[in-house]
Each structure stands twice: as C-alpha cells, then as structure tokens.
Structure 1
Amino acid sequence: MTESRDSALAPASRITQPLVLANIPPSPGQGRIARAFLLALLVILLGTWPFAAIRLPEVDAFVPTLAAALFVSDCVTAALLFAQFSILRQWALLVIASGYLFSALIVIAHALTFPGAFTPTGVLGSGLQSAVWLYWFWHAGLPISIIGYALLKDTDRVADARVTRRAISLSVVGVFALVIGLFLFVTHFEHLLPILFVDVRPLSLFRRTIGGMVVLALGGIALWLLWPRQRSLLDQWLIVALCALLLEVALASVLSAGRYNLAWYAGRFYQLVTATVVMVVLLAEMTRLYASLARSNAMLQYERKRLQRAIDAQHRERDARLMTGDAVAATIAHEVKQPLAAMITRSETGLRWLDRAVPELHMARTEFMKIAADGHRAAAVIESIRANFRKDERVRASFDVDNLIEEAIALFEDDLKSHRILVKVERSARPLRVIGDRIQLQQVLLNLITNAIEAMITVDGPRELAVSSSLSDDGDVMISVADTGMGIAAQDLQRVFDPLFTTKSRGMGMGLSICRSIVQAHDGMLWVSPNAPRGSIFQFVLGAKTV
C-alpha cells in the first residue's frame, strides 16, 4: 500500500479535515453519558453475579437470532468506519473497521458451530470444542484491533487517496480469508484442539478460565493503550464497547461457567452492547452532522439566492439604464425629426424665393420666420422629453383642442398636398378645452398624423385623413385620427404600443409608445381600432375643461 511520506504536512492537513466521529472531541455532556453508561454496565454485573449459576430455559432459536442481530450491527459499524477511513485516510480507522468486520463474520461462524443452534453438535462437522474456540477468537479480535488502532491513531502517516479503495478491498478479503480459515480449522481439525467442554459442560476450572484470562489480558492492554490517547468521540465509545466486552467475558467465562444460565444470558446482553454502542453513536453523530450540513446548505442556498437577486437587480438596473439611454436617444431622434424636416423644407423654399430673377423677399421672410418657429418648437420638444424622463414637474395650462388640431394640420400642409391626401376636420359643436402640456399633446397629434400619412402613401385608391374632436359620454374630450392606409394586423393591435416594436422598415418603434406614455401622464387613454373599409383609427381621451 502507498503512504504519504511528507509527515511535516500532516498536522496542517488534519486542521482542514472534515468533522467526523473519528476526529470530533467529545463534549463534557457526552463524556458524562459515557461514564454513566459504564457505571450502568458495572451495576448490572454486580447485580447479576450472585445469581450467575441459576439455570434458565434453553431456547434453541436464541443463538441464531442473536447472531443475526450482532452480524447486522457489526457490519453497519464496519461499513461506517470504512467510510471514515476513506475520508480521513488514517490507518487506525482501517484497523478498527477490519476488527468490527471480523466480529461480524465470526459471530456467524460461531452460531453455525454452536451445539443445538442448527444441529446437536453444529454444522459441517463441528464438534463440542468448535464453538468455544471460535468464541475465544471472536472476543480476542476486537481487543487486538483496538490495540492496533491505539498504536496507529496518533501517527502522521496517512494512506494515499488513490489507494483507499484498494486498501479497504484487501482488508475485507483478508478478514474473510481469516474467518474462513479459522472456521475450517475448528471444524475439520477439531480433534487437534484442547478439550474444554464435554457434553456441553466445561471440563475444569482451569480450562474454562484460561481463554477468558487471555481475552481479559488483551482487553487490559488495549484499554491501557487507548485510555491516555482518547481524544475523539470514537475513542470514548470504543472504550465503552471494550469495557462491555471485558465485563461479558468476566461474567460469563471467568466468574461463571456453563451455558443457558443467568450469567450466560447476561453475557449476550453485553455482546449486544459491544456490537451496537459504536454503531448507535456513529449513526447519531452522522445524523447530527447531516442536520448541521442541511442547515448550512439551506443558509448557503438562501445566501446564494440573495446574491443572485442582487446580481439580477444590478443587471436589470444596468439594462434599464441602457434601455433608458436608448429610449432617450430614440425619442429625441423621433420627435425632433419632424421639426427638422419642416425646417429643411422651408429653408429650401425660402432659397427658391431668393433665387428668382426678382427675389421675393416677403415670401422668403415668411419661410424664414416659419423656420424660426420650427426651431423653437424643436427646442420645446427636447425640453419636454427631458422633463418626461426626469419626471420633472410639467407646466400645464388650459388650451383649445381645435386650435391644436388646426396647428398640427397646418404643419403637414405641404406633405398632404404632395401625397394627394384629402383632409377632413370635424370640430365639436362647442369649444373644448383641456388642461395639460401643450407641447407634449401636440407631439402626440403630430405622431399620429405622421403615421397616418406614412400608412396611406403606399396604397392605391382614395387617401383620406379624418381628424375630429368630440365630447365623450363620460364628459371627456376625445380626439380621433383616422386614415385609409394599409391598416394594422389584428395580432399587432396591442403590440404597436410596446417600446421598440415597429412594422416599418425604417421605424424606431418609439412613437406610439411615447404617445401612450404622454396620454397616460395626462390621466387619459390611447387605443387603436380598425377603420372601414381599410386603415386604422387612433383615438385618445383627455379630461375636459369646457367653456
């Protein structure tokens, strides 16, 4: 087997080892529980000793049943200790795990050879001496493994992580081979063994106690080595298991003799304690560590979710800033495009008036004045956009809706004529006034009229723009812009108001989104519906102030 040879690094590595039963120091409360448990075992011994020779009924099924329970307990303990060895890679853990596996296997061999358990003299050629010698081998196994564990537990040499599985496999195979060898020896060569029992009764005091004295000596050596070295919870409960084994041997094999008496049955109780105490502590400590791990994992998941939410919030904030920047840029480009286009058109018209043989200064002056007005309107639009995104307090005033419509139509006069679009304006029977930001509401109307013109220039047939104002049933002012263009697909009727959604090849997808935001900021509503026979009707309502 390969071992790590850098012993200088081992103490540092132990600091980072995971907390398991083999390296957790016992708490004061756990120490008191262990001492109370030992005291209880000693009290049971003292209470049983005076009545040790009392005969009790022979129960043939008792030994196989007890053997099954001991086998399961020792196997579980061995598996848990092998798992601890695979984590910590300490050779001492491999030794003690192999000791418990040896106890698990040899208890089955002992039950098979026990007289009366399965056959009168045991199976596979067993004799009267087979079971008792397997009993001594069985009870010598744990003290010997604890001696090895005590001698190796404080060494800095650990197994290489690459060979832990191989080490466990070789240990399991070796233990199996040893138990099979011992079983075959005591069954096939039973005549070579010293005679200890005749007719299931001990032959003499010396022969019945010599094996027990050897086991007690081995247990004493193991206790002497482990006691000053006990530092972990595993050390503490190994001492308890060892003491239970020694008390059993003292009661059932040294202080008393024979089978099926009170001492013999009490000894089986100590066997259960020896087999189960370490297993129970291992399982309890694993449950505690698992619960602690589950709590830590839950806290980790909670903190991870909090961190993820914070990261997502940062991403959303960044995306919102980017989106807002894009929206501001797109809004400015969209809204300022109309005044700029008008300024370009009027400047070209003014230059044509000046380029005549006899310059028409009056007409040119009129165009240049309109250019100035468009410039002021562009500045007002930019200021309105700035106030909208900064949520500044807007300047609102009362104004006439019909005047707003006439001004908007006048700004598109040239475009309407060039595209041969017939304009119909329907006014309310009485003047309608609203309170709001005139520049922003004018931009809404200009956007709707622009969209109507662009929708009609690509279709053949009559082109008609109808703009009207009226008083709704709820007393609000309703403004309608209808066209006979190509219309909007049914699935897009609601999407047209989403930011960056457009059906135009060169559209930005911001116009209608801005219009709805402005109308909603004035506590109004904007919607679209199909026109008949074709086209669209955009309508919005505002709170009225009639005079």
Structure 2
Amino acid sequence: MTVLTAAGGTVEAASSLPAALPSSSRRAPLVVAAVVPAVVGLLFLNADLLLGPHPAFLPAFLTLVLACDLLTAVLLVEQYRAGGGPRVLALSAAYVWSAAIVVPHALVFGGLFTPTGLLGASPSSAPWLWAAWHTGLPVLIGLALAPWPAGLEARLGSLEHRGRRLLLTHGTVLAAAVGNTALVTAGADRIPTIIVDGDYTVLTERFGPWIVALCLLSLGAALVGVLGRRDAQGIEAWAIVAVVATTGDATLTLFSESRFTVGWYGARALALTAATVVLLAMLREVTALHRQVLRDSVRLETTNRQLLDAQNLREHMVAVVTHDMRTPLTGLQGYLELLSEAGGDLGEERQATMIDRSRMLTRRLTLMTEDMLAVATTDRRVVALEPAPLLLAAELQACAEVFPDLDLRLECEPGIRVQADPLRLQQVLVNLVGNAQAYGAEPVVLAARSLPGLPAAPGPALVELAVSDAGAGVPAGFVPRLFESYTRAEGTGRRGSGLGLSVVRELVEAHGGRVSYDAAANAFRVVLPAPADLSLVEPVAADPVA
C-alpha cells in the first residue's frame, strides 16, 4: 500500500497479509525438500544398526512434537484471524490434527506411562494412532496446498463468518481425532491387529504401502498447488518439507528392522522436522516482519519529522512575509496618496523619486512572494541574493525615507561601501530601525563605519552597521533568545510577531555576515563584507549623508 505524503513523496506501508512468494523464496524450501530423501537413503544404509533404548527419549520427543504442533497451529490460527486466506486455516487444521493424535498416542504407548498404556489400550492401539498421525498430517497439508476449484478460495476467503469457519474446521478435526482414539481403544476388537509381541510385520506389509502412497500422493498435490500458484505464501513451500519429512519418517519406521535402531531414531528426527519446519518458517517471517515494521516506523518517523519541519517552515515564512509586507505596503500607500493628492505640485524630480521608491518597494514585495513560493515547493528555504557594491550612505538615506515621522539620525563615513543585495539590505535596515521605533525611544541612530581589514588587503574587508536608540535596552535575561523566531520580551507593552530579528539574522548570515546585540551601547551591530575589489566601484561625487 502506498501513501502520498503532503510533501509530495510517498511512504510504503507494510501490508497486513503475507506477501506472495517470489521464485527466490521457493528455492530454499524446495532444496531442503530434495535433501530429505537423500538423508533418508543414508539412514537406510544403517537402518538396522542398534543404538539401544533411552527411557527419556520418547517422552521428550512426544512432548516436543506436541508443543511445536500446538504453537504452529496457534500461529496459523492467529494469521488466519488477522486476514490470512482459507489455505492458512486448512494448514492449521493439519497441525491441530497432529497435536490431537500425539496426545492419545503417548497415553496408549506401552511403557511410557504404564506397561500396557492408558485408556484401555490394546497392543495395536499405539501403531494405529501412529498410522492415523502419519496419514492425517500429510493428507491435510496436501489438501491445504493442492489446487482448488475456481472460486472456492475466494468464497472461503470472505471476511464474513471467519469465526464460524474456524470453529467448524477445528471442531471437525478434533472430533475425528477423538473418534479415531475411541475406535483404536474401546473398539480395538473391531479393527485388525497390526502388532503381535512387538512384531509389526502386518502393519508393514499390509498397510505400509498404502500409508507411504498416501504421503506421496499428498506430496504431489502440494507440489502442484504451490508451484502452480503465484500467490503462494512462504510457509506453504515450507509445509512441503513437512510432508517430505513425514513420508521419510513413515518409510523408515515401517521398514526398519526394530525399535531403537538408527532407522527408528532417524524416523523420530524426521517427525520432529515435520513438526518444527513450518513453525521455524513462521518465526522467521515474524522476525522479518518485525524488522520491516521497525524500518517502516523509522522511515515514517523521519517522514513525519520532515513534514512537520516543512509545515513549520511554511508557517514561519507566512509569518515572516506577513510581518515584512507591512512596511513596503505602508510606504506604497503613502507614495500613492501623495502622488494622487499633490499631483504636479510635487515637481518632476520629486515625482520620479517617489516612483523609484515605489518600484523598489514593489520589488521587495515580489521577492517576498517568491520566497513563499520557493518554500511551498521545496523543503528548504533558499534566500535569493544578488549582491552588488553599494554606497552605504545612499542605502541609509533610503531606509530613513521609510520612517518620515521618526527622529532618525544617520552617521556614515564618506565613501564607505558594502557588498550586499540592495533589497535584502533594506529589509535588514528597516527591521532594525522598526524594532528600535517599536521598543526603544527616540532619537534612533543608524550608523555605518568600516572595519580594518587584513594587512595584505587593499582597503577595508568589512563594514559595520549599528542601530541604537535612547531607550532602556533589551532585558539582560532576554538577550540569549533575541534572534530566535516567535520570541518577544515580556513587559514591553508591545505586541508583535517576534520574527523581525530572526529575519535579520537569516538575511545577514546569507550574506556571509553576522549580527549581534551590544548591551553596553544598546545597539544592534551588523557586520557585512565590503566589496572585494574597490577599483571596480565607480566613484561617487559626494555621499548623501555626511
């Protein structure tokens, strides 16, 4: 499932259902399934080698098989309840059958709990339950994996009545196991005797070929089903290994000479393989899904953080532009009102100056809208700069014209120049002067001076701009947060966006400069680079500000 994010990207979400089995995932279980017959053949070479009895082996073996069968059945049931297909339900029924038969098989096994077994067992009860175990498990797995009639899987896979299907399927299997147990114990006189004094030749010769044939038939059906379906799940291919192991177990048990031989112990090992292989495959899938969930959670967390950062950036830019638009809009409105009311009385030179200032303010508004567009379409703010050598006296005079009612005093060294974007520089100056007007006291002083450069450099390397006022200054406790966004000093009686000084910092740093607050002088100081080659700057007759 793919989710489109607000940033225009996508996040892959893990599906709640198992993924289809790729060809590479089929190879491993099929290779294992091919190796099992080779192992059975090797065991056959020494099948009659007597290893001797071990009293604790059978109880431990049957307990381990029962535990693995139950765990496998529970995990398959939970997968079915979580949305798995009907084949998962059928596969769980196979392991419910195995667990349900193992219990009475252990109870009636002579010498395990009592010399003759429990439940009124006869000598043939344990072999008959073993036969039911080793035919029922592969047959049910074969039915679960075999090709089904068209539409059956879709009908059985509907989300309706899942609980009812689960109860019906497992109830039928348990009832069959109970009926089989009753038949071989209470009804033992109605079924053939297949073991006499420890000799199970009747089982081997009369029923053995049918048991092996049923296993092979189930194996063939499972192979055809899994290899023919593109939507086969990983555990289905490993279930084939369980059928192969059960077939090998039945073959070794039936045709070994006696108990406690290499063939007999090898058959028990194959039975344990059949009980554990699907469980291990499911645990492997759960581990892989857990890793995938962790990776997805990290990816989603990163994406969410990026989205939050992008959202915060957009909100920040909207607030910045709203804050900074007020000054040029006010200036434009004033120029338009003067031009409209005074008209030709202003004189051509004055009108031309107002028109030039209006164009500059319009350009500033255009830059702000471009910034908003850039932030809306990218995840980073890129400040557009067009630096040029600027005569600072003229820039200070242009800033002063924005504050006609403010007692603003300009101090500038003659001929001093700065390498900066003219519109961005005005944005810095207007913010600093406006901050002094709002929070300080008149007069406000806007000064510029050159800073000494390196000895080898021809001319000044840096220039300093300072804005000071006659007010009380910034509270000492607030100075560390002065240039943070959305912060305002308490107790000033003024309300603002808390963005002006953060805008100044961003623009100054974009120019390669720095900004600071001098508490002793109650002055904001901005240091910017001077033009690298003053010979390229055209001389000016005189500065507007002395």
Give the corresponding residue for 1:222. 218
Q: 1:191 to 1:26 in 2, by over 3 A?
A: farther
Stretch of structure 1 that moved more, 189-198 or 241-250 = 189-198
Alpha-carbon separation, structure 2, partners of 1:264 and 1:518: 84
Cα gap change, 1:447 to 1:220, in 2 (>3 Å): closer
Give secondary structure in 2 for the equivalent of 1:117: coil
Checking the alignment, whether the CA contact within 8 Å between 1:332 and 1:382 is kept in structure 2 is no
From 310, 327, 331, give the equivalent of 2:324.
327
| Shift in alpha-carbon separation, 1:507–1:375, aligned structure 2, 3 A | farther
User: What's the counterpart of residue 250 of structure 2?
Assistant: 249
Amino acid in the other structure paired with 2:202: F
Given that 1:397 and 1:436 are in contact with CA atoms closer than 8 Å, whether structure 2 keeps it comes out as: yes
Question: Does structure 1 residue 276 correspond to structure 2 residue 264?
Answer: no
Residue 107 of structure 1 pairs with residue 88 of structure 2: no
- Whole-Å separation in 2 of the counterparts to 1:20 and 1:445: 61
CA RMSD of aligned residues (A): 5.9
Tell me what 1:175 maps to. Answer: 173
Aligned-residue sequence identity (percent) comes to: 21
- The amino acid of 1:96's aligned partner reads L
How many equivalent pairs are there?
Answer: 464
State the distance in 1 between where 2:512 and 2:221 align.
90
Q: For residue 161 of structure 2, what is the aligned residue in structure 1?
A: 163
* Displacement of 1:217: 3.8
Structure 2 gap segments, 5+ residues each: 1-14, 368-384, 453-462, 531-542
User: Where does 1:366-381 land on structure 2 (aligned, <5 Å)?
Assistant: none
Instruction: Please tell me whether the aligned partners of residues 219 and 242 of structure 1 are also in contact (alpha carbons under 8 angstroms).
Output: yes
Task: Give the distance between the partners of 2:83 and 2:62, measured in 1 at CA.
Answer: 31
Q: Tell me, in whole angstroms, the C-alpha distance in 2 between the residues paired with 1:213 and 1:337.
A: 106
Q: Quick check: 2:320–2:499 contact (8 Å CA) kept in 1? A: no
Please state how far the C-alpha of 1:63 moved relative to its aligned partner. 1.0
TM-aligned CA distance change 1:472 to 1:68, over 3 Å: same
Q: Deviations over 1:406-457 (max 9, x none)?
A: x99xx87xx99xxxxxx9x9x99xx9646369997998999799779x968x
1:284 offset after TM fit, Å?
4.5
- Pair 373,394 (structure 1): closer, same or farther in 2 beyond 3 Å: farther
1:65 to 56, 60, 69: 60
Q: 1:398 to 1:132 in 2, by over 3 A?
A: closer
Query: Paired residue for 2:148, among 130, 146, 153?
Result: 153
Alignment match, 2:205: 209
- The 8 Å contact of residues 40 and 252 in structure 2, kept in 1 or not, is answered as no
Q: Which SS does the other structure have where 1:162 is aligned?
A: coil
| Cα distance between partner residues in 1 of 2:189 and 2:149 | 43
Compared with structure 1, are the counterparts of its residues 506 and 157 closer, same or farther at alpha carbon in structure 2 (3 Å cutoff)? Answer: closer
Report the equivalent of 1:351: none
Aligned pairs for 1:331-480 (under 5 A) are: 331-333=328-330, 382=358, 393=388, 395-396=390-391, 433=414, 435=416
Q: Partners in 2 of 1:121 and 1:541 — Cα distance?
A: 100
- For the pair 1:121 / 2:111, whether they are aligned, the reply is no
Q: Return the letter of the residue paired with 1:140.
A: T
Q: Which amino acid aligns with 1:47?
A: L
Question: 2:24 & 2:448 partners in 1: Cα distance?
Answer: 88
Q: Report the counterpart of residue 470 of structure 2 in structure 1.
A: 482
Distance 1:291 1:198, change over 3 A: same
Q: Does the 8 Å CA contact 2:194/2:202 hold for their aligned counterparts?
A: no
Which residue matches 1:10? Answer: none
- In 2, the alpha carbon distance for the partners of 1:442 and 1:56 equals 97
Cα drift, residue 472 of structure 1: 12
Give the whole-Å Cα distance in 2 for the aligned partners of 1:236 and 1:525: 68
CA drift of 1:157 comes to: 1.1
Instruction: Give, in whole Å, the separation in 1 of the partners of 2:512 and 2:259.
Output: 102
**C-alpha separation between the residues in 2 aligned to 1:235 and 1:142?**
14
Q: Which amino acid aligns with 1:251?
A: L
Deviations 1:278-330 (A, max 9, x none): 444454466567667776x4796499469848x928x8468637743652442
Shift of 1:145: 1.7
1: CA distance, partners of 2:526 / 2:299:
53
User: Conserved in 2, the CA contact under 8 Å of 1:334 and 1:511?
Assistant: no
AA paired with 1:266?
Answer: G
Give the secondary structure class of the aligned counterpart of 2:253.
Answer: helix
How far the C-alpha of 1:271 sits from its partner, in A, is: 1.7
Distance 1:334 1:276, change over 3 A: same
Aligned residue identity for 1:206: V
Distance apart, 1:69 and its partner CA = 1.8
- The residue number in structure 1 matching 2:45 is 47
What is residue 140 of structure 1 aligned with on the other side?
A: 135
Structure 1 stretch displaced more, 517-526 or 373-382: 517-526
Partner of 2:117, secondary structure, is: coil
The structural deviation recorded for 1:103 is 1.0
Shift of 1:215: 1.7
Match of 1:356 in 2: none
Structure 2 residue identity aligned to 1:241: A
Bigger mean CA offset, 26-35 vs 68-77: 26-35
- Three-state SS of the structure 1 residue aligned to 2:416 is strand
- Counterpart amino acid of 1:268? R
Report the more deviating stretch, 373-382 or 259-268: 373-382
Distance 2:235 2:287 in 1: 15
Quick one: structure 1 residues 373 and 492, their matched pair in 2 at CA, closer, same or farther if it must change by over 3 Å?
farther
Q: Label 1:142 to 1:335 Cα distance change in 2 as closer, same or farther (>3 A).
A: closer
Structure label with greater radius of gyration: 1
Shift of 1:161: 1.3
Contact residue 246 and residue 274 of structure 2 kept, 8 A: yes
- Is the CA contact 2:33–2:244 (under 8 Å) kept in the aligned structure 1? no
8 Å contact kept, 1:436–1:522:
no
**Alpha-carbon distance between aligned partners in 1 of 2:520 and 2:191, rounded to the nearest angstrom:** 109
Local SS of the residue matching 2:105: helix
Q: Cα 1:542–1:375, aligned 2, differ >3 Å: closer, same or farther?
A: farther
Per the alignment, residue 267 of structure 1 pairs with 267
Separation of aligned partners in 1, 2:262 and 2:469: 108
After superposition, the Cα gap between the structure-2 partners of 1:500 and 1:92, relative to the gap in structure 1 and judged at 3 Å, is: closer
Q: Letter of the 1:244 partner, please give it.
A: A
Q: Does 163-172 or 186-195 show the bigger shift? A: 186-195
Report the CA distance between 1:225 and its aligned residue. 4.2
Structure 1 residue 181 displacement after superposition:
3.7
